[in-house]
Every structure is written in C-alpha cells, then in structure tokens.
Structure 1
Amino acid sequence: MSKKPEEKPREIPPLMNFAIGGLSGMMATCVVQPMDLLKTRMQLMGPAGKNTSLGKIAGDVIKAEGVKGLYKGLSAGLFRQATYTTGRLGCFNALFDMYKANYGVPGLGAKVLLGMIAGSVGAFIGTPAEVALIRMTADGRLPPEQRRNYTHVFNALSRIISEEGVTGLWRGTGATVSRAIVVNGAQLGSYTQAREMLLPSMGGGLPLHFVAAMISGFITSVSSLPVDIVKTRVQNAAKGTSQLAVLSSVIKNEGILALWSGLLPTYFKIGPHTVLCFIFLEQLNALYFKLT
C-alpha cells in the first residue's frame, strides 16, 4: 500500500503577511502610546531630567495637557505601524518562510540576521512617520512659541515637506535604520528563540506568547536604548546633526549611563507592545487559516 505524500504546511501569502503584521502593530500601539510619549519626553530632557521619575513626567503631562495629552501623536504612531511594522514583520515572515522552505528551520543566528534585514527595510519605509511621531510626542515639552503644533500625522508630513523639503521626511534615516537593525535582530530573533525553547514545557497558547514576548521585550529594551536616544534627538533637532555628534554630546555632558535614560518607560512600552503585537499576530494568523 503506497504512502500518501505528506501535506505541505500551509503558508500565508506574502501580501497578507505584510497586512497582518501592520494591523497587529497598530492594535498594540493603541494600548501603549502613552509610554511611547513618556519615553520620548524623558529622552529629550537631558541632564535636567536625571532624577525625574516616570510618575512625575506623566503627572506633568496630564496637568498641562490633560489625559488626552498622553495620546498626543497617536495618529503618527498608527501611521508608523502601518509603514514600519507592516514592512518589518511582513518582510521577516516572508524571509522566514523562504529560509525554512530552502534550508529548514533557521537557527538563532539566522533568525537574528533575518530580523536585522527585515528591520532595516521597515525602518527606511517608516522613517517619515518616525520623524512625525518624535516631533508630535515631544511638542508639549517646548515653550508655546516654539511648538510645531502639528494637528495630525498628515499635517506633520505636509509641513515638513513645505518647511524643510522632501528630504526632511528622512531626517535621521541612518539612526532609524541603526536602531531598527538592533531592535529587530534582538526582538524577532529572541522572541522566536524563546518561543521554541519554552514550547515543550509550556505548550501553545497565550501564556507562551506572553512569556516569550516579555523576555524578548527586555532584551530589546536594553540593547536598543543607546541608538534609540540618538535617533530621538537627531529627529527632534531643528537642524540636521550627525549620530556621532549626538552620541559624543550625550556621553560628554550627561555620562555613559544617560544612554539608558528612560529604560523603564521603554520597557513598559516595548515589553507590552511586543507582547500585544505578537499575540495579535498569532491570533490574526490563526484567524486567517480558519477563514481560508
């Protein structure tokens, strides 16, 4: 009796991979946007914010701008996810499937490399939204006469083009890509590795995704903060400046530990965002297979 040929595992089409990746990121951003805003404010405070607590910054924002002030820049955050996260997760999933089909399940080194490639692609696509997000979340800390007062992400993008030229949309591209390479190498690689290692003992389901994502979020926060701070300051600057100049200035004027300023809000943003993003991603993937 002849054996039936083994069924080839079903794969999600590349375009759907991109759509699901972007949607999962946008859903997660709606939850963690306040932490993104607080992280940006803390990173831009410089020496003056050395002993300022996360609670005080949050209190100051609410006092001056109301609770809705914590969600300033949400439209840019969503647009960033629609571009950057769609690009990086879609690219990572497509590259992962291609690698698996040709060489088998990738090891940790291959996962990290795939994550870095996917992150750099997504970062370049998402830089305009990143510039708008940084400026919108930072605006409230400036004196009223210095505020840009962008009303929404598309207003920000159009004003940047008219006031600084099209190239202004890609200010800090090098810093953004550098951060994305670190973030995605750490996040995507560590998440898939942690998930594989925990699967035998935890089984599938939400608890597995939660623990793997929290491990991934911590690794990502610690490894990415120095380049994230440089990126934030480059993109918020009124005039163009180099990554190296910003990095040297931070170390000289604030000390080496300033490169990890805002670790708490960064983890409270990246950790939950990683958890939610991958949970939404897994559930949307499952829904796709259920409906097709």
Structure 2
Amino acid sequence: MSQPKEEKAAKIPKGIKFLFGGGAGMAATIFVQPLDLVKNRMQLSGEGGKSKEHKTSLHAIRSIMKNEGLRGMYTGLSAGLLRQATYTTTRLGIYTTLFEMFSKDDKPPNFMMKAGIGITAGAIGAFVGTPAEISLIRMTADGRLPVNERRGYKNVFNALSRIVQEEGVLTLWRGCIPTVGRAMVVNAAQLASYSQAKQLLCDTGYFHDGLVLHFCASMISGLITTAASMPVDIAKTRIQNMRIIDGKPEYSGAFDVLSKTIRKEGFFSLWKGFTPYYARLGPHTVLTFIFLEQLNNFYNVYVLHNENAASGL
C-alpha cells in the first residue's frame, strides 16, 4: 500500500522564501547603511578630475559627521530598505527556489551550477531593484555637493516621483546594464562561494551547521565578492549619479567610466573604497545569510515541524 501524501516532508513555500530573502536583506541594511554611504562617497571622490575629497574611509566618516551629523550617516536609509525589499527579495527567492530545484537526492548542485543559478537570480533581481538603487546612489551622494546643487530628495518615494517627473520614467533604469552586470558578478561570487565555503568547511569536520559556520562562510564569501565586483560597482555608481550637462551625459556607458577612471585616477582606483565596500559587504553578507538561515530554520522547526530540513543555501 502506498504511503499517504501527507507523510512526504513538507518544504518552505516559494512565497515565504521570497519574503524571508527580502526580510533578511532589510534587517542587515539597518546595520550597514552608514558603510554603504561611505562606500558611495569614496567611489565618487575624485570624479571629473577633481582633487580627492576623501583619501581614506576614516576621513570620509569624519567629514560626514562634521558636516551632516550622526543622522547624516543614515542618509538614504529608506532607499536602502526599498532596494533590499525589491532586489534581495527577488534574488534570494529565485536562488533558493532554483537551488532546491537542482538539488538531487539531497545533494546540492556543483559549484558551476551554483554560479549559474546565482547569475540568473542576480540579473533578474537587479533589474527589479534598479529604481531603488538609483535613488540610493543619489541620496547618499547629495551631501557631498554644495547646497545649491543638491537634489534634496526627502525619501525614496519622493526621489522616485521626482525622477519620473523631472527626467522621465526610463531614468529609473539608467545604468541598468552595469547594475545587472554587477549583480551577476556579485551573485555568482557571493551565493556560489557562500554555499561552497559552507560545504567545504563542513567537510573538514571542524564545523557543524550553526552560527559559527554561517559567519565563517559569509566572511569568505564577502571577501571574494568584494574583489570581483568593485570595478563594475564603481561604473554603476558613477553612471547612476551622473548629470546631463548641456544635453550631454557625463558618461556614454560603463566602459567609458572605466577608461576615464583608469586614465585620470589610475588602475587601482577601480578598487577605491575597498575597505568600506568590504566593511559593508562582509557584514551585510554575514547578517543577511545568518538572518535568512535562522528564518528558514525557524519555519522548518516551528511551522513544518521538520528539524532535519536543509536551509536551502
């Protein structure tokens, strides 16, 4: 006699996976928003051949605190939260869904398959999240400008409505190509390296599933992702922050940004802001994955009553 269907192990519904992904990213952003602000200011420092505004991350922090106060460190938080609600909800939801789809006999996909899943999830998530990303870049960059040149967005929804009114709806997807490109690099590196690092650490026999394992795997993933994604992140940041001067944009595309940056500021300027970028991406990666793993575990144990279920990452 065949087993009743209800005995089959229940799994986390896809809608809940998307919700947990976005919730984990938003929770992490509350902690790391000041680092995102510093990273963006560092990447824009020296743009257009101007003297560098911020030589180090500490110099940037001191300048922001002096000129804008403690509250200024959280400039753009509403945009950061909306970005996570759109981008991270989509990318982690798609990644965990595809990860489960391509896992066979409780064995996770190989590294190349993980990377491919990450690229797919990142590209779709980035497209969805580009409007919030543009708002975030502009809001965090505003404080570095003279008062008469600032855009002065009140919050992310004010930013979105004004961008549409003043520059047209398509401006919300300005820089979409480098944004999608960055997300493909970030997700291939971040999601695949996190899954792989967790698997390799477990294989050593010194680590067991829990916070210590999640923390170590996240830090490894954050370092790899930072090194791989910074050049395309700088291109994205500068394109999304650029102005139209006399009817002509400052940059024609990502390659134009990279070539001008290398020519005027040097090759290693492509990794300008590495410290705040990693300081932001490392903890954000750690917190996002820890929150996501804990949410998944909570749902498995207390809702599905399945203590042996895998996290899906």
Range of TM-score over shorter length: over 0.9
> Bigger CA drift: 125-134 or 95-104?
95-104
Q: 2:149 aligns with which of 140, 146, 149?
A: 146
Quote the residue 2:256 is aligned against: 245
Q: 1:105 Cα deviation (Å)?
A: 2.0
1:214 aligns with 2:219: yes
Quote the residue 1:186 is aligned against: 189
The one-letter code of the counterpart of 1:194 is: A
Distance of 1:181 and 1:18 partners within structure 2: 18
SS of the aligned residue for 1:202 comes to coil
Q: 1:104 Cα deviation (Å)?
A: 4.7
Superposition CA RMSD, Å: 1.9
1:224 aligns with 2:229: yes
Distance of 1:291 and 1:272 partners within structure 2: 27
Structure having the larger proportion of residues in helix:
1
Distance of 1:197 and 1:246 partners within structure 2: 38
1:116 aligns with 2:125: no
Quote the residue 2:132 is aligned against: 129
Distance of 2:171 and 2:178 partners within structure 1: 14
Quote the residue 1:286 is aligned against: 297
TM-score by structure 1 length?
A: 0.95
Q: 2:79 aligns with which of 76, 81, 94?
A: 76
Residue by residue over 1:239-281, the C-alpha shift from the partner in whole angstroms, topping out at 9 and shown as x without a partner, is 3431111111101111110100000000000000000000000
The one-letter code of the counterpart of 1:111 is: K
Contact 2:42 2:54 in 1 (8 A): no
Quote the residue 1:39 is aligned against: 39
CA spacing shift, 1:184–1:54, aligned 2, 3 Å: same
> Bigger CA drift: 237-246 or 63-72?
237-246
Residue by residue over 1:53-76, the C-alpha shift from the partner in whole angstroms, topping out at 9 and shown as x without a partner, is 111110110010101101000000
The one-letter code of the counterpart of 1:288 is: Y
1:269 aligns with 2:274: no
Q: 1:4 Cα deviation (Å)?
A: 11
Distance of 1:166 and 1:280 partners within structure 2: 34
Distance of 2:232 and 2:53 partners within structure 1: 18
Q: In the comparison of the two structures, how many residue pairs are matched?
A: 290
The one-letter code of the counterpart of 2:194 is: Y
Distance of 1:149 and 1:33 partners within structure 2: 19
Quote the residue 1:26 is aligned against: 26
Structure 1 unmatched ranges of 5 or more: none
Structure 2 unmatched ranges of 5 or more: 304-313
SS of the aligned residue for 1:71 comes to coil
TM-score by structure 2 length?
A: 0.89
Residue by residue over 1:198-234, the C-alpha shift from the partner in whole angstroms, topping out at 9 and shown as x without a partner, is 1232111100000000000000000000000000000
Percent identity over the alignment is: 53
The one-letter code of the counterpart of 1:247 is: L
The one-letter code of the counterpart of 1:78 is: L
CA spacing shift, 1:3–1:16, aligned 2, 3 Å: closer
Contact 2:80 2:136 in 1 (8 A): yes
Distance of 2:72 and 2:22 partners within structure 1: 25
Distance of 1:273 and 1:196 partners within structure 2: 20
